[in-house]
Structure 1
Amino acid sequence: MRLTVRCRSSNVEVIKQFANWLLDIGERNLGGPNDGQSIVDIPDDLLILISSDPIDDLLQFVYPDILDRFIELTYFQDQALLAPLNEVVQEIIDRILALFPSNKVEYLSSDSLDNAETVF
C-alpha cells in the first residue's frame, strides 16, 4: 500500500505507524502466540464505539459529503475501505449505491458463446 502518496508531510509519520501496525497484525506479531486466533487491541481512534448504524458512520467518516463530491474525479482515489469478507464488501457497496438517487440497471454477462449459426 502506498499510504503516504500525495500526503502532507505532517501526516507521514502517523501514516507510517498505522501501516506498521497493519503489517504487524498481518504477520501475527501482535496479540501473542496464537493458533490462527488472537486478541488484538485496536486503538480507540479507529473504533466506532457506540452507534445504531456503524456502517453508516463508517461511510460518513471515509466518504464525507459523498453526494456533493462524488462527481469529482479524484474523490474516490483518496479514500479506501478494507473488509475481511466479500459479504461485508457487498453490503458496503449496496449501502453506497442506495445513497444515489437513480434507477437500478442490471447488466448481465456470459461465460460462453452461443453455438447458433445465425450471426447478428
Structure 2
Amino acid sequence: MEDSVSNIKPESALVELIVRAKLIIWDEAPMIHKHCIEAVDMTFRDIMRVCNEFSMDKPFSGKTVFFCGDFLQILPVVPKGSRQDIVNVAINSTYLWRNCTILRLTKNMRLLSAASSDEASRLKEFSSWVASIGDGVVGGPNDGEVTIDLPSDIVLSNSVVDEVNQLMMSLDQSHGRVYLSSDSISNSDLTSNGLVEIHSVEFLNKLKCSGTPNHELLLKVGTPVMLLRNIDHSNGLCNGTRLVITRLGDYILEGQVLGGHNIGHKVLIPRKYE
C-alpha cells in the first residue's frame, strides 16, 4: 500500500482532488490578478471535460467557487500601473464576474463578544467610521484624495511613544549606548532669506515626529527595533523589518531578523547610510 501511494505523482493527486471537489474557497480574491482567476477557470474546464464534455461551457467546469475579500483593501499590484490599469485587472473586470452572485456581510461579529454595552457602542462607532472612510463618505465629495481628521482617542502623540520606549528600556539593567543623529543644513539654504537661522542644527535635533527617530537613540543588546527605511531588500533590510540588537559597535550595529524569509539571520546596519 505504501509503495502504491509513493508512486502517485503530485500532479495526479491534485487532478484527482479537483475532480472530487464540490466547493472551493478562494480568500482575498480582490487582490488576485484576473488572469490568474481565468487561468484556473480554463484549467478546471480542461480537466473536467474528461468526466463531462458539457463542463467546457460552465464557469470553473460547474464547480462552486466561493470568493472572499474586500474591495476596500489592497487591489492587484500592477508595477508602475495607473488607476485604470489596476481596475482593468481586478476580479470584477473578468468575464467570469457576470456569473458571480454578491453576498454582503451585514453583522459585526466583534460586537457580539463585547464585554459591556459601552464597549459594544464604541466598537460599533469605530467600525462605522472605518467603513465610512472606505465608502468615501468622510470628507465630503472628492476625487479620491481627501484630508481626514483622526479621532483623538485613537491617536498617540510622539511624546507618549517616547515615554513607553524609555520605560521598556529602563526594565533592562544592562549597559547601553547612546547614538546621535548627524543633521546638517543644505548649502542651497545659505542663499535663502534667513532660513539658516530658523532651521539651525540645534532646531533639527529637537524635532520629534512620527516615523523619524529622535536625535538621541539609546540602544542595548536585546533591544527590539524596526527599520524606517530601505537599506538592502535582498537581505530583508527594508522599511518595517523588525530586528533585535545583538552587538553595538562604533560605526555598525549587528542585529538578528525577527520575521520574514530571513528570520534568524544576522545582519549589519551602518550607522550612517547614504
TM bin (shorter chain): 0.3 to 0.5
- If each structure's strand is expressed as a fraction of its own residues, which one has the higher value? 2
Query: Which structure would you say has the larger Rg?
Result: 2
Q: TM-score, normalised by structure 2?
A: 0.21
Relative contact order, higher structure (CA 8 A, sep 6+): 1
